[in-house]
Structure 1
């Protein structure tokens, strides 16, 4: 059973409203933290900033009450980092080198993902749109960010629905993937692409009805406000960066 885009976006909004962190950050602060973390970690010398980004992601997860994420971030980063930096030292093989190179980029994405997941799980599309408009962000970026925040959870739900349907028909699972990899990929991607096109059309119509592409500036029911929590978050992030540089 697939989830409609309207129901998925409504569930997304309710979930974001129920997740009340101890210190509520302004969506602009969350977006700045994600952007700064991405720029620093993905820089040529960004490996040294990975621990600071992980600490920031864990602190945000604790603030949100996402205990599983707070534990999974360092564990995943440690495992992937072992493959990326320690395994080539003990197993000098070309294949291991390729795997280590991929793992080196993946551990950076894990560090960035910890901060990005906090933004996605605690911010509704309406809050993000209002915050970006208050920051005078161009309309093209505002609309794209709002649509992406609504589109990704819906596509994940559609992918799970397709996978469950394949399992019910006995054509899913790792066994079927190993026996018929090309056929399994085809059976999964074709329904998902068709569903994605339908979801994209529905979300586009919903965006037009909500006035995302209008020339006039809509009024937010809850205007974003910067507070002491935002200043504390920026100071913590700056302190982690300074400690990394001095270390």
Structure 2
């Protein structure tokens, strides 16, 4: 259901008339973040949407010129991605690679696709943690900061990129070994300890999406 929700919301907001769905997708993304107690994500998503709304709709009316028109066009385009990313972050934050692989197997998705997506879902958090460790090490040595980046941009990028390449290679080798131990290369279908099933939370999510979709279709007609 979470995968279908991401696909449906992405298609809705990226369609030619997708701006009407953007506020409701944002509302759904904030509601999902609050249900997970992810207060930072909820506040960040709300603040980003408010800033883009102010720059895209309010600023051109208050200060009309060519610059604000360009900013408005960019914000009106990017706010669609913000809405879709809010739903995608719910999928990433609440779905483990094991659950994703089990769901894709239940959908009869080809093994190369399901294994690739499961490894990607586990790889990006590892890379993010390694990047934070590299930045901490650079700060301890006095190599990170705006001054160093402005004075020696190429050297600063080199000092960050080289350890990140080594850390990414080491993480990929560890994940490959873990995948082999988990039997991802086996021709037999593994048995899931917790098979994906449609539950009460999924039904409530479908009901909430139906209500928001109906409101997105009806409210613009009523306002006009």
Same fold? TM cut 0.5: yes
Alpha-carbon distance in structure 2 between the residues aligned to 1:39 and 1:235: 19
**Is residue 92 of structure 1 aligned with residue 65 of structure 2?**
yes
Q: TM-score, normalised by structure 1?
A: 0.80
SS at match of 2:184: coil
Q: Which has the larger radius of gyration?
A: 2
Within-5 A mapping of 1:118-129: 118-129=90-101
Alpha-carbon distance in structure 1 between the residues aligned to 2:195 and 2:38: 26
Q: Which aligned runs of 4 or more in structure 1 are off by greater than 6 angstroms?
A: none
SS at match of 2:171: helix
**Offset at 1:55?**
0.9
The residue number in structure 2 matching 1:113 is 85
**Offset at 1:97?**
5.2
Alpha-carbon distance in structure 2 between the residues aligned to 1:191 and 1:101: 38
SS at match of 1:41: helix
Partner residue of 1:229 out of 178, 201, 206: 201
Partner residue of 1:215 out of 170, 175, 187: 187
**Offset at 1:99?**
4.7
**Offset at 1:233?**
0.5
Output one character per residue of 1:55-109: Cα deviation in whole Å (capped at 9) or x when no partner.
Answer: 1111111221222322221111111232334444525235x55554443443222
The residue number in structure 1 matching 2:177 is 205
Q: TM-score, normalised by structure 2?
A: 0.87
The residue number in structure 2 matching 1:80 is 52
**Is residue 192 of structure 1 aligned with residue 146 of structure 2?**
no
Within-5 A mapping of 1:4-43: 29-43=1-15
The residue number in structure 1 matching 2:213 is 241
> Which structure exhibits the higher relative contact order, with contacts defined as CA atoms closer than 8 Å and separated by 6 or more residues?
1
